[in-house]
Protein backbone atom coordinates (compact mmCIF):
# COMPACT_ATOMS: atom_id res chain seq x y z
CA UNK A 1 0.00 0.00 0.00
CA UNK A 2 1.22 3.49 -0.85
CA UNK A 3 1.69 5.69 2.22
CA UNK A 4 2.39 8.97 0.39
CA UNK A 5 0.69 9.14 -2.99
CA UNK A 6 1.27 11.78 -5.67
CA UNK A 7 -0.86 11.66 -8.81
CA UNK A 8 -0.38 14.07 -11.73
CA UNK A 9 0.65 16.89 -9.38
CA UNK A 10 1.12 20.20 -11.18
CA UNK A 11 2.09 23.72 -10.17
CA UNK A 12 1.97 26.83 -12.34
CA UNK A 13 2.80 30.32 -11.11
CA UNK A 14 1.81 32.19 -14.28
CA UNK A 15 -0.94 29.99 -15.73
CA UNK A 16 1.18 29.33 -18.84
CA UNK A 17 4.02 26.99 -17.87
CA UNK A 18 4.32 24.40 -15.13
CA UNK A 19 7.09 24.48 -12.55
CA UNK A 20 5.91 20.98 -11.60
CA UNK A 21 4.42 19.14 -14.53
CA UNK A 22 2.52 15.92 -13.85
CA UNK A 23 4.53 14.37 -11.01
CA UNK A 24 3.30 10.93 -9.92
CA UNK A 25 4.91 8.50 -7.48
CA UNK A 26 4.26 6.35 -4.43
CA UNK A 27 6.28 6.33 -1.21
CA UNK A 28 6.01 3.43 1.23
CA UNK A 29 5.68 3.82 4.98
CA UNK A 30 9.12 4.15 6.58
CA UNK A 31 10.95 4.78 3.30
CA UNK A 32 13.76 7.30 2.85
CA UNK A 33 13.18 8.83 -0.59
CA UNK A 34 15.33 11.57 -2.10
CA UNK A 35 14.14 14.10 -4.66
CA UNK A 36 17.30 14.74 -6.70
CA UNK A 37 17.75 17.24 -9.49
CA UNK A 38 19.33 20.52 -10.59
CA UNK A 39 18.08 23.93 -9.48
CA UNK A 40 14.70 24.73 -11.01
CA UNK A 41 13.79 21.09 -11.68
CA UNK A 42 10.67 21.18 -9.45
CA UNK A 43 11.87 19.06 -6.52
CA UNK A 44 11.56 21.75 -3.81
CA UNK A 45 8.24 23.00 -5.17
CA UNK A 46 6.91 19.43 -4.98
CA UNK A 47 8.14 19.20 -1.39
CA UNK A 48 6.46 22.50 -0.48
CA UNK A 49 3.16 21.29 -1.93
CA UNK A 50 3.36 18.14 0.23
CA UNK A 51 4.07 20.35 3.26
CA UNK A 52 1.16 22.67 2.46
CA UNK A 53 3.26 25.80 1.90
CA UNK A 54 2.31 25.82 -1.80
CA UNK A 55 -1.06 24.93 -3.30
CA UNK A 56 -1.05 22.56 -6.30
CA UNK A 57 -2.58 23.79 -9.54
CA UNK A 58 -3.82 20.26 -10.15
CA UNK A 59 -3.41 16.64 -9.15
CA UNK A 60 -3.78 14.69 -5.92
CA UNK A 61 -1.56 14.40 -2.84
CA UNK A 62 -2.61 11.80 -0.27
CA UNK A 63 -0.95 10.77 2.99
CA UNK A 64 -2.08 7.49 4.54
CA UNK A 65 -5.27 7.67 2.46
CA UNK A 66 -6.09 11.28 3.45
CA UNK A 67 -6.36 14.03 0.83
CA UNK A 68 -3.91 16.70 1.98
CA UNK A 69 -5.64 19.35 -0.12
CA UNK A 70 -8.36 19.38 2.56
CA UNK A 71 -5.90 20.28 5.31
CA UNK A 72 -3.92 23.42 6.11
CA UNK A 73 -0.16 23.08 6.58
CA UNK A 74 -0.46 23.09 10.39
CA UNK A 75 -3.11 20.33 10.24
CA UNK A 76 -0.99 17.85 8.27
CA UNK A 77 1.23 16.53 11.09
CA UNK A 78 4.31 16.86 8.88
CA UNK A 79 7.75 17.85 10.15
CA UNK A 80 9.87 20.14 7.97
CA UNK A 81 13.62 20.74 8.27
CA UNK A 82 15.01 23.65 6.25
CA UNK A 83 18.50 24.45 4.99
CA UNK A 84 18.69 27.66 7.04
CA UNK A 85 17.64 25.83 10.26
CA UNK A 86 14.94 28.49 11.04
CA UNK A 87 15.64 28.26 14.78
CA UNK A 88 14.23 30.88 17.19
CA UNK A 89 17.30 32.85 18.33
CA UNK A 90 15.73 33.85 21.67
CA UNK A 91 15.03 30.21 22.63
CA UNK A 92 17.48 27.61 23.89
CA UNK A 93 17.94 24.31 22.06
CA UNK A 94 15.44 22.78 24.47
CA UNK A 95 13.01 25.66 23.94
CA UNK A 96 13.18 25.25 20.16
CA UNK A 97 12.45 21.53 20.41
CA UNK A 98 9.61 22.07 22.89
CA UNK A 99 7.96 24.78 20.76
CA UNK A 100 6.00 22.51 18.33
CA UNK A 101 4.74 20.53 21.33
CA UNK A 102 3.40 23.72 22.94
CA UNK A 103 1.63 24.61 19.71
CA UNK A 104 -0.05 21.20 19.74
CA UNK A 105 -1.15 21.40 23.35
CA UNK A 106 0.95 18.61 24.86
CA UNK A 107 1.03 18.29 28.65
CA UNK A 108 4.02 19.98 30.32
CA UNK A 109 5.52 16.77 31.68
CA UNK A 110 5.22 15.02 28.31
CA UNK A 111 6.75 18.01 26.52
CA UNK A 112 9.88 17.86 28.67
CA UNK A 113 10.18 14.09 28.36
CA UNK A 114 9.76 14.12 24.59
CA UNK A 115 12.21 17.01 24.09
CA UNK A 116 14.85 15.42 26.34
CA UNK A 117 14.52 12.11 24.53
CA UNK A 118 14.82 13.75 21.12
CA UNK A 119 17.85 15.87 22.10
CA UNK A 120 19.43 12.65 23.33
CA UNK A 121 18.69 10.97 20.00
CA UNK A 122 20.57 13.70 18.10
CA UNK A 123 23.40 13.77 20.66
CA UNK A 124 22.71 17.22 22.12
CA UNK A 125 21.52 16.49 25.68
CA UNK A 126 24.35 18.52 27.24
CA UNK A 127 23.66 21.48 24.93
CA UNK A 128 19.98 21.81 25.86
CA UNK A 129 20.46 25.17 27.63
CA UNK A 130 22.48 26.78 24.86
CA UNK A 131 21.10 29.33 22.40
CA UNK A 132 21.50 28.90 18.62
CA UNK A 133 24.30 31.48 18.52
CA UNK A 134 26.26 29.29 20.94
CA UNK A 135 25.97 26.22 18.72
CA UNK A 136 27.92 25.18 15.63
CA UNK A 137 26.21 24.80 12.26
CA UNK A 138 26.01 21.04 12.67
CA UNK A 139 24.58 21.36 16.16
CA UNK A 140 21.97 23.85 14.97
CA UNK A 141 20.98 21.45 12.22
CA UNK A 142 20.56 18.68 14.80
CA UNK A 143 18.28 20.92 16.85
CA UNK A 144 16.22 21.61 13.72
CA UNK A 145 16.01 17.87 13.06
CA UNK A 146 14.97 17.15 16.66
CA UNK A 147 12.29 19.85 16.41
CA UNK A 148 10.97 18.26 13.20
CA UNK A 149 10.72 14.83 14.85
CA UNK A 150 9.66 15.56 18.42
CA UNK A 151 5.87 15.61 17.86
CA UNK A 152 5.92 12.20 16.15
CA UNK A 153 4.96 13.44 12.66
CA UNK A 154 3.49 11.19 10.00
CA UNK A 155 6.14 12.39 7.55
CA UNK A 156 9.38 14.41 7.72
CA UNK A 157 10.43 16.64 4.81
CA UNK A 158 14.05 17.79 4.60
CA UNK A 159 14.82 20.62 2.16
CA UNK A 160 18.58 20.59 1.42
CA UNK A 161 19.28 20.53 5.18
CA UNK A 162 23.05 20.05 4.84
CA UNK A 163 23.72 22.60 2.11
CA UNK A 164 25.26 25.17 4.49
CA UNK A 165 27.73 22.72 6.09
CA UNK A 166 31.32 21.98 5.08
CA UNK A 167 32.19 18.66 3.42
CA UNK A 168 33.33 16.74 6.52
CA UNK A 169 30.44 17.91 8.67
CA UNK A 170 28.00 17.23 5.85
CA UNK A 171 29.21 13.63 5.61
CA UNK A 172 28.91 13.20 9.39
CA UNK A 173 25.35 14.52 9.30
CA UNK A 174 24.44 12.18 6.44
CA UNK A 175 25.40 9.25 8.66
CA UNK A 176 23.51 10.75 11.62
CA UNK A 177 20.32 11.34 9.65
CA UNK A 178 20.35 7.77 8.35
CA UNK A 179 20.96 6.45 11.88
CA UNK A 180 18.03 8.47 13.19
CA UNK A 181 15.86 7.28 10.32
CA UNK A 182 16.65 3.67 11.17
CA UNK A 183 15.98 4.18 14.88
CA UNK A 184 12.77 6.18 14.50
CA UNK A 185 11.46 4.39 11.39
CA UNK A 186 9.63 7.46 10.13
CA UNK A 187 8.96 8.22 6.46
CA UNK A 188 11.37 10.87 5.13
CA UNK A 189 11.49 12.86 1.90
CA UNK A 190 14.86 14.51 1.33
CA UNK A 191 15.54 17.19 -1.30
CA UNK A 192 19.05 17.76 -2.65
CA UNK A 193 21.01 18.50 -5.80
CA UNK A 194 24.00 16.60 -4.35
CA UNK A 195 24.29 13.18 -6.02
CA UNK A 196 26.57 11.81 -3.28
CA UNK A 197 23.98 12.61 -0.59
CA UNK A 198 21.27 10.92 -2.64
CA UNK A 199 23.36 7.81 -3.32
CA UNK A 200 24.53 7.53 0.29
CA UNK A 201 21.28 8.06 2.14
CA UNK A 202 18.34 6.92 0.04
CA UNK A 203 16.23 3.79 -0.18
CA UNK A 204 15.01 5.19 -3.50
CA UNK A 205 15.78 8.26 -5.59
CA UNK A 206 13.39 10.28 -7.77
CA UNK A 207 15.39 12.22 -10.38
CA UNK A 208 13.71 15.49 -11.38
CA UNK A 209 14.21 17.47 -14.60
CA UNK A 210 12.14 20.36 -15.97
CA UNK A 211 9.29 19.79 -13.56
CA UNK A 212 8.99 16.07 -14.27
CA UNK A 213 10.33 12.87 -12.71
CA UNK A 214 12.77 11.26 -15.13
CA UNK A 215 13.29 8.06 -13.15
CA UNK A 216 12.52 6.50 -9.77
CA UNK A 217 14.70 3.67 -8.50
CA UNK A 218 17.23 2.42 -6.00
CA UNK A 219 20.59 4.24 -5.93
CA UNK A 220 22.26 1.35 -7.78
CA UNK A 221 19.52 1.24 -10.42
CA UNK A 222 19.80 4.97 -10.99
CA UNK A 223 23.59 4.75 -11.27
CA UNK A 224 24.03 1.58 -13.33
CA UNK A 225 20.77 1.55 -15.32
CA UNK A 226 19.68 5.14 -16.00
CA UNK A 227 16.52 5.35 -18.08
CA UNK A 228 17.63 8.46 -19.98
CA UNK A 229 20.80 10.25 -20.96
CA UNK A 230 19.92 13.08 -18.57
CA UNK A 231 19.91 10.71 -15.59
CA UNK A 232 23.17 9.09 -16.70
CA UNK A 233 24.88 12.47 -17.06
CA UNK A 234 23.46 14.01 -13.88
CA UNK A 235 24.18 11.10 -11.54
CA UNK A 236 27.90 10.36 -11.48
CA UNK A 237 30.54 10.70 -14.18
CA UNK A 238 29.91 9.05 -17.54
CA UNK A 239 31.03 8.51 -21.11
CA UNK A 240 28.40 8.47 -23.86
CA UNK A 241 28.87 7.22 -27.40
CA UNK A 242 26.34 7.44 -30.22
CA UNK A 243 25.57 3.99 -31.56
CA UNK A 244 23.28 1.91 -33.71
CA UNK A 245 21.75 -1.49 -32.95
CA UNK A 246 21.07 -3.98 -35.72
CA UNK A 247 18.95 -6.87 -34.43
CA UNK A 248 20.56 -9.18 -36.99
CA UNK A 249 23.81 -8.84 -35.02
CA UNK A 250 22.87 -9.64 -31.40
CA UNK A 251 25.33 -8.44 -28.80
CA UNK A 252 26.98 -5.95 -31.17
CA UNK A 253 26.62 -2.17 -31.44
CA UNK A 254 28.10 0.04 -34.12
CA UNK A 255 29.58 3.16 -32.49
CA UNK A 256 30.13 6.31 -34.52
CA UNK A 257 33.88 6.84 -34.77
CA UNK A 258 34.83 3.60 -32.98
CA UNK A 259 33.31 0.84 -35.08
CA UNK A 260 31.72 -2.35 -33.76
CA UNK A 261 31.82 -3.08 -30.03
CA UNK A 262 30.47 -5.99 -28.06
CA UNK A 263 27.87 -5.54 -25.31
CA UNK A 264 26.28 -8.08 -22.97
CA UNK A 265 22.91 -7.88 -24.69
CA UNK A 266 20.95 -5.80 -27.16
CA UNK A 267 17.64 -7.52 -26.43
CA UNK A 268 16.45 -4.69 -24.14
CA UNK A 269 16.45 -2.15 -27.00
CA UNK A 270 14.83 -2.11 -30.40
CA UNK A 271 16.81 -1.79 -33.59
CA UNK A 272 17.96 1.77 -34.19
CA UNK A 273 19.86 4.64 -32.61
CA UNK A 274 21.11 4.27 -29.04
CA UNK A 275 23.42 5.99 -26.62
CA UNK A 276 26.00 3.67 -25.06
CA UNK A 277 27.04 4.68 -21.54
CA UNK A 278 30.25 3.48 -19.89
CA UNK A 279 31.24 4.75 -16.45
CA UNK A 280 34.88 5.97 -16.24
CA UNK A 281 35.72 3.51 -13.46
CA UNK A 282 34.73 0.61 -15.73
CA UNK A 283 37.56 1.33 -18.14
CA UNK A 284 40.66 -0.73 -17.34
CA UNK A 285 44.28 -0.50 -18.43
CA UNK A 286 45.68 -3.31 -20.56
CA UNK A 287 49.01 -3.88 -22.30
CA UNK A 288 49.30 -4.37 -26.05
CA UNK A 289 49.10 -8.16 -26.00
CA UNK A 290 46.17 -8.25 -23.55
CA UNK A 291 44.29 -5.58 -25.49
CA UNK A 292 44.70 -7.60 -28.69
CA UNK A 293 42.86 -10.53 -27.08
CA UNK A 294 40.03 -8.62 -25.41
CA UNK A 295 36.79 -7.04 -26.54
CA UNK A 296 36.34 -3.29 -26.83
CA UNK A 297 40.00 -2.20 -26.66
CA UNK A 298 41.20 1.19 -27.86
CA UNK A 299 43.84 3.86 -27.30
CA UNK A 300 43.18 7.10 -25.44
CA UNK A 301 45.35 10.21 -25.69
CA UNK A 302 45.41 12.07 -22.36
CA UNK A 303 44.71 15.81 -22.42
CA UNK A 304 44.53 16.39 -18.66
CA UNK A 305 44.39 14.57 -15.34
CA UNK A 306 42.65 15.16 -12.00
CA UNK A 307 44.37 13.55 -9.01
CA UNK A 308 41.92 12.37 -6.32
CA UNK A 309 44.58 10.69 -4.21
CA UNK A 310 43.13 7.17 -4.33
CA UNK A 311 42.51 7.44 -8.09
CA UNK A 312 43.25 9.56 -11.12
CA UNK A 313 40.70 10.80 -13.61
CA UNK A 314 42.29 10.87 -17.06
CA UNK A 315 40.52 13.19 -19.50
CA UNK A 316 41.26 12.84 -23.17
CA UNK A 317 40.10 11.51 -26.53
CA UNK A 318 39.92 8.32 -28.52
CA UNK A 319 39.53 8.69 -32.29
CA UNK A 320 38.62 12.32 -31.63
CA UNK A 321 35.79 11.40 -29.23
CA UNK A 322 35.91 12.74 -25.63
CA UNK A 323 36.66 10.13 -22.98
CA UNK A 324 37.13 10.01 -19.22
CA UNK A 325 38.82 7.09 -17.43
CA UNK A 326 39.17 6.72 -13.66
CA UNK A 327 42.31 4.77 -12.80
CA UNK A 328 42.53 3.40 -9.26
CA UNK A 329 45.96 3.80 -7.66
CA UNK A 330 47.37 5.48 -10.76
CA UNK A 331 50.76 7.21 -10.58
CA UNK A 332 50.32 10.91 -11.45
CA UNK A 333 54.01 11.15 -12.37
CA UNK A 334 53.43 8.69 -15.21
CA UNK A 335 50.26 10.35 -16.48
CA UNK A 336 50.50 13.72 -18.20
CA UNK A 337 49.12 15.44 -21.31
CA UNK A 338 50.13 13.47 -24.37
CA UNK A 339 50.31 10.08 -22.63
CA UNK A 340 48.78 7.22 -24.64
CA UNK A 341 46.72 4.75 -22.61
CA UNK A 342 45.52 1.36 -23.80
CA UNK A 343 42.08 0.77 -22.33
CA UNK A 344 39.25 -1.73 -22.58
CA UNK A 345 35.83 -2.36 -21.10
CA UNK A 346 33.87 -5.54 -20.51
CA UNK A 347 30.70 -6.07 -22.58
CA UNK A 348 28.59 -6.16 -19.39
CA UNK A 349 29.83 -2.68 -18.41
CA UNK A 350 28.03 -0.92 -21.28
CA UNK A 351 24.48 0.34 -20.71
CA UNK A 352 22.29 1.05 -23.74
CA UNK A 353 19.70 3.83 -23.79
CA UNK A 354 17.35 4.11 -26.79
CA UNK A 355 17.68 7.51 -28.40
CA UNK A 356 13.89 7.92 -28.12
CA UNK A 357 14.28 7.95 -24.30
CA UNK A 358 15.48 11.55 -24.39
CA UNK A 359 15.04 14.62 -26.59
Q: How far apart are CA 116 and CA 138, in angstroms?
A: 19
Residues 112 and 28 in one domain: yes
Residues 208 and 67 in one domain: yes
pLDDT band (50, 70, 90) for residue 1: low
Residues 113 and 248 in one domain: no
For residue 234, what pLDDT is reported? 95
Pick the last residue of a domain from 229, 258, 277: 229
Q: How far apart are CA 50 and CA 70, in angstroms?
A: 12
Residues 174 and 295 in one domain: no
Kindly write down the DSSP assignment for every residue of 303-329, as one continuous string.
EEEEE-SSEEEEEEEETTEEEEEEEET
Convert the pLDDT of each residue in 189-213 to its tens digit: 999 999 999 999 999 999 999 999 9
For residue 54, what pLDDT is reported? 95
Convert the pLDDT of each residue in 141-193 to its tens digit: 999 999 999 999 999 999 998 887 888 888 888 988 999 999 999 999 999 99
Is residue 68 a contact partner of residue 77, using CB atoms and an 8 Å limit? Answer: no
For residue 226, what pLDDT is reported? 96
Residues with Cβ within 8 Å of residue 117, at least 6 apart in sequence: none
Residues 184 and 301 in one domain: no
Mean pLDDT, residues 68-89 taken together = 90
Closest CA relative to residue 225, chosen from 275, 277, 184? 277
For residue 356, what pLDDT is reported? 64
Residues 205 and 101 in one domain: yes
Pick the last residue of a domain from 212, 229, 246: 229
For residue 359, what pLDDT is reported? 47
Which domain covers residue 39, as residue numbers?
4-229
Residues 198 and 283 in one domain: no
Residues 218 and 335 in one domain: no
For residue 172, what pLDDT is reported? 86
For residue 227, what pLDDT is reported? 93
Please, what is the average pLDDT of the chain?
92
CATH number for the domain that contains residue 317:
2.40.50.100
Q: How far apart are CA 183 and CA 198, in angstroms?
A: 20
> What domain count does the chain have?
2
Convert the pLDDT of each residue in 283-299 to its tens digit: 999 988 888 788 899 99
CATH number for the domain that contains residue 22:
3.40.50.300
Mean pLDDT, residues 239-263 taken together = 89
Residues 36 and 102 in one domain: yes
Q: How far is CA 214 from the centre of its chain?
A: 12
Residues 199 and 257 in one domain: no
Q: Is the confidence at residue 271, as pLDDT, over 80?
A: no
Residues 218 and 298 in one domain: no
For residue 67, what pLDDT is reported? 95
Closest CA relative to residue 41, chosen from 218, 198, 240, 238? 198
Pick the last residue of a domain from 179, 203, 229: 229
Residue 326 has a CB neighbour count (10 Å cut-off) of 18
Residues 103 and 209 in one domain: yes
For residue 309, what pLDDT is reported? 87
- Tell me what percent of the residues of the chain surpass a pLDDT of 70: 98
- If 0-12 CB within 10 Å is exposed, 13-18 middle and 19+ buried, where does residue 309 land? exposed
Q: How far apart are CA 144 and CA 142, in angstroms?
A: 5
pTM of the full structure: 0.91
Residues with Cβ within 8 Å of residue 173, at least 6 apart in sequence: 138, 141, 142, 161, 162, 165
Convert the pLDDT of each residue in 28-65 to its tens digit: 999 999 999 999 999 999 999 999 999 999 999 999 99
Amino acid sequence: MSYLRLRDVRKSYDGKSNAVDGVSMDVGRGEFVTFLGPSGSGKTTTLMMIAGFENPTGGVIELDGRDLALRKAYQRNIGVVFQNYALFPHMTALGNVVFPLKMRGFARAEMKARADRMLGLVGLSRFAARYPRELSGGQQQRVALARGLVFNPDLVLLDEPLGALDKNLREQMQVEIKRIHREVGITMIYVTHDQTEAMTMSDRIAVFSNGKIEQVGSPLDIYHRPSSRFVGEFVGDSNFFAGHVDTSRPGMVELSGLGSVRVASTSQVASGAVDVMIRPERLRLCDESACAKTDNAFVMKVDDIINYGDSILAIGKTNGLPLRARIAGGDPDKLHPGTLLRLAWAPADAHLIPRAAHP
